[in-house]
């Protein structure tokens, strides 16, 4: 009888159904948002609703398979494959600089997409989980070898930065500033939990905040723009800052997307206009501006439900970390959580005008294959923690039972 109970617990507890349910609910909301956005898209390049839903559903299936595969890797196997996946990701980031999709480059100005006929793929997205694994391995390995001291902490920051620098350089060459910010957010999150003393973290954080504030102030000055231009800032980045600081100033040109998004969300009021009852035209509504679709259709209540689902997802991921008590897992989970949280804050922030538009999509909701695949693989890494930790616990219980 005891053995049957243990077997039943093994099959039920190894899979975290709470995380899976949260992702599935977000996926359903995403499919509904894509359907509404595409069906009301009047632009010349608008595709069919059926095709958009089919492709998004196909990527969910591919992502689901990816989750199943990643779940089979325990901590030791993830540790071993981390440098291999990191190296493969760097290779793809270099390949895309040469073989980038020309049509996407014309439309976006970014050399970050590989094209295979009508199919496109963004290597920087699948680089995210590989980078998270590599950072987790670097920090864990450092903490095993060294005790925490000021000199050793600076050494750790330097080592982490050296693994991050190639990605930053390659993304800069691809002209993909938004994705670069995601990697920096992951880096910052892992630094915060790595054990590095606050005597180092606080000055670095203050310097970063001061640098960002100074850059924004420089954009408002002609001489400042000239200086930033010499440092590599592009004209479209200045326009995004301008539209953020004054969205009504050029509501028909540079600020049009932001202004329309704010109008759409505001028009939804408390309960929204209703499913597929959209009246405000918002460019790229199925991807970057998916939140505006939810805001107009379902109002404040619908937006609050989405945010609550994200909160539950993050909380469940944190719970897995505390349950497993594994340092390597903790850094992986931190990277995944920071990636998702940054996407949520930046996307919703730019939809409501609190943050500049950076082309950051909304996790599990926005249209996009490679982005969705990266999110699903990252969820797979979290699920593998519970899966293998519970397996170990049950095997230990079995040994004790057999000994008795």
pLDDT digit string (tens) for 161-174?
999 999 999 999 99
Asked if 246 contacts 255 with a C-beta cutoff of 8 angstroms, the reply is yes
User: pLDDT higher for 2 or 316?
Assistant: 316
**Burial degree of 346 (CB within 10 A; 0-12, 13-18, 19+):** buried
pLDDT at 57 over 90: yes
- How many CA atoms lie within 13 Å of 80's alpha carbon, on the beta-carbon side? 4
For the entire predicted model, the pTM comes to 0.89
- pLDDT mean across residues, the chain: 86
User: pLDDT higher for 52 or 232?
Assistant: 52
Percent of the chain with pLDDT over 90: 56
pLDDT at 190: 95
pLDDT at 137 over 90: yes
Cα 372 to Cα 316: distance, rounded to the nearest angstrom: 19
**Helix/strand/coil percentages in the chain, nearest 5:** 75, 0, 25
Least confident among 46-55, 249-258, 341-350, 363-372:
249-258
User: pLDDT higher for 53 or 250?
Assistant: 53
Enumerate the β-bridge partners of residue 121: 114
pLDDT at 393: 46
pLDDT at 7 over 60: no
- How many CA atoms lie within 13 Å of 155's alpha carbon, on the beta-carbon side? 11
Percent of the chain with pLDDT over 70: 90
Least confident among 162-176, 194-208, 381-395:
381-395
Cα-Cα-Cα-Cα dihedral sign, residues 201, 204, 210, 211:
negative
Confidence of residue 251 (pLDDT cuts 50, 70, 90): low
């Amino acid at each position: 009888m005891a053995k049957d109970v243990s077997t039943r617990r093994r099959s039920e507890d190894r899979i975290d159904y709470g995380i899976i349910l949260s992702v599935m609910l977000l996926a359903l909301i995403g499919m509904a948002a894509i359907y509404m956005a595409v069906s009301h898209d009047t632009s010349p390049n608008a595709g069919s609703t059926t095709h958009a839903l089919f492709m998004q559903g196909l990527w969910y299936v591919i992502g689901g398979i990816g989750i199943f595969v990643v779940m089979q890797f325990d901590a030791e196997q993830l540790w071993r494959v981390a440098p291999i996946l990191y190296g493969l990701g760097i290779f793809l980031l270099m390949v895309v600089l040469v073989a980038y999709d020309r049509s996407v480059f014309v439309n976006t100005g970014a050399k970050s997409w590989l094209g295979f006929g009508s199919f496109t793929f963004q290597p920087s997205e699948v680089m995210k989980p590989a980078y998270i694994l590599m950072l987790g391995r670097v920090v864990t390995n450092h903490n095993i070898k060294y005790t925490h001291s000021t000199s050793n902490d600076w050494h750790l920051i330097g080592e982490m930065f050296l693994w991050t620098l190639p990605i930053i350089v390659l993304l800069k060459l691809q002209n993909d500033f938004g994705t670069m910010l995601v990697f920096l957010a992951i880096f910052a999150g892992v630094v915060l939990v790595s054990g590095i003393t606050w005597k180092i973290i606080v000055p670095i954080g203050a310097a970063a905040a001061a640098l960002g504030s100074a850059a924004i102030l420089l954009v408002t000055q002609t001489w400042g723009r000239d200086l930033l231009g010499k440092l590599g800032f592009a004209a479209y980045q200045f326009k995004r800052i301008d539209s953020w600081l004054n969205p009504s100033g050029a509501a028909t040109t540079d600020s049009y997307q932001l202004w329309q998004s704010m109008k759409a969300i505001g028009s939804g009021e408390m309960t929204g206009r209703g499913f597929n009852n959209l009246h405000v035209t918002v460019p790229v509504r199925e991807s970057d501006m998916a939140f505006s679709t939810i805001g107009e259709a379902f109002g404040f209540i619908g937006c609050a439900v989405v945010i609550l689902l994200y909160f539950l997802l993050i909380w469940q991921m944190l719970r897995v970390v505390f349950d497993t008590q594994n340092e390597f897992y903790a850094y992986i989970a931190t990277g995944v959580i920071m990636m998702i949280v940054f996407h949520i804050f930046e996307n919703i922030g730019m939809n409501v005008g609190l943050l500049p538009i950076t082309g950051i999509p909304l996790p599990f909701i926005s249209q996009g294959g490679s982005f969705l695949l990266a999110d699903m693989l990252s969820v797979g890494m979290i699920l593998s923690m519970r899966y293998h930790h519970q397996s170990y616990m049950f095997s230990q219980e079995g040994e004790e039972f057999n000994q008795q």
